[in-house]
Amino acid sequence: MSWLRYFKVLVGGAILLLLCVCGVAAPLLAPRDPQAQTLEDRLRPPRWTENGSAAYFLGTDNLGRDMLSRIIYGSRISLMVGAATVIFAGFVGCSLGAIAGYFGRTADDVVSKISEIFLAFPFLLIAIAIMAFLGQGVGNLIMALMLSRWVQYCRVVRGEVLSLKERDFVTAAKALGGRDFYVLFRHVMPNTFASVTVIATFGMAIVIITEASLSFLGLGVPVHIPTWGSMLSEGRSYINRAPWLTIFPGLAIFITVFGINLLGDGLRDIFDPKLRRQR
């Protein structure tokens, strides 16, 4: 059923692409300024409901801001934070993991101990601690998420490298006079690519949810930048009166995470050597 594999990748990729377009073209797509408050129009329901107004397709929030525009702008933060975290965490984690796995001994001890310390803390807790310490801001948020995410890459890459370095092709490369770093990055690392890609996609979904959780707790990006998490957080006390304040950002998070997971799932199927052999 190989078409199903590509189907997952295609659908997941399409969702992600759509989000990227939303994020990049937000100023063109959003009907209104996501910050503009019209207090007289607060808590307007979505357009298709009884009291809906044509001016606000998804209704307005508790401060009279356009929900649709805020959701479109919110995709920027989710994607930016997700992508940046995955890239930085992946870079740091993979490098340290490769060094630890390949060189072993002291390098391995030091890296492993550090990663164990990070692993000992629950992921969200460490992110909360770092945000409370650094203060609000997109950069700080990415930093906090990265510090709590790099360990996963590190552990996986270390494990893979440990087994790969015993393989014959590595011995051959060394026998031909390849220097350590050359062998590591030319021959060993490319073989970890499949697993890292899979972790990265799933990791991105986790990061997007964590960003939403931190924003929900008021520890994410500054309050004037619309994010799905902070929209959920502000909307929750109105859940009886104005459920659209929580439904739409919740839906946005759900669809994004679903798309990314689908993509990651598809990629794993494609990269999985056992499945590849069956082909």
Partner 1 sequence: MGKGKTDISRRNFLKRSALLGAGGLAAPYLSRQSFAATRDRVTIFHSSVADSINPYNHSSSPIYGNWQHVMEPLIELDYDKKDYVGVLAESWQFQGNKWSFKLRKGIKFHNGAPLTSKDVAFSIEKMRDEKGGSLQAPNFKDVTEIQTPDDQTVIFVTKQPLAIFLDRLENRFILSKVAGDKFGDKLYENPIGTGPYKFVSYQRGGNMVFTRNDDYWGGKAAIKEVIFKKVTEDAARLAALESGQADFVNNIPVHEVARLQKHPRVRVDQVEGLRMFFLAFNMTHKPWDNKLVRQAANYSVDAPAIVKNIFDGIGYPCNGPVGANVIGADSKLKRYPYDPQKAKQLLAQAGFPNGCDIQLYYSAGRYPKDREVCQVVAAQMVKGGFRVELISQEWALFWDKQGVNGGRLPFYYIGRGSLTDADTLYDQYFRTGTTKRTNYSNPDLDKLVEEQQKTDVQKKRVAILQQAGKFIMDEALFIPLYNLADIYGVARNVVWKKRPDEKVLGWDMKIK
Q: Which chain residues interact with partner 1 by CB under 8 A?
A: 35-37, 39, 42, 62-64, 132, 135-136, 218, 222-224, 234, 237-238, 240-241
Choose between 128 and 143: whose C-beta lies nearer to partner 1.
128
**Residues 23, 26, 29, 30: what is their CA dihedral angle, to the nearest 10 degrees?**
120
Q: How many CA atoms lie within 13 A of 230 on its CB side?
A: 18
Phi then psi dihedrals of residue 30, to 5 deg: -70, 130
Among residues 105 and 241, whose Cβ is nearest to partner 1? Answer: 241
Given the complex with partner 1, which of 65 and 268 has the nearer CB atom? 65
Taking the complex as a whole, the smallest distance from the CB of residue 50 to partner 1 amounts, in Å, to 18
Please, how many CA atoms are within 13 Å of residue 81, restricted to the half-sphere of its CB? 32
The least CB distance from residue 217 to partner 1, in Å, is: 9
* Nearest in space to 167 (alpha carbons), one of 183, 181, 152: 183
- Report the residue number, 45 or 97, with the smaller CB distance to partner 1: 45
What backbone phi and psi angles, to 5 degrees, belong to 177? 95, 15
Residue 229, classed as helix, strand or coil, is helix
In the complex, the smallest distance separating the C-beta of residue 49 from partner 1, rounded to whole angstroms, is: 19
Angle of helix 193-216 relative to helix 244-271, nearest 10 degrees?
A: 170
Minimum distance, C-beta of residue 38 to partner 1, in the bound complex (Å): 10
Name the minimum Å distance from CB 104 to partner 1.
42
Distance CA 103, CA 204 (A): 29
Minimum distance of partner 1 from residue 178's CB (angstroms): 52
Closest to partner 1 by CB, 95 or 213: 213
Quote the CA–CA distance of 257 and 247 in Å, as a whole number. 15
Between 241 and 279, CB nearer to partner 1:
241
Residue type (1 letter), 58: L
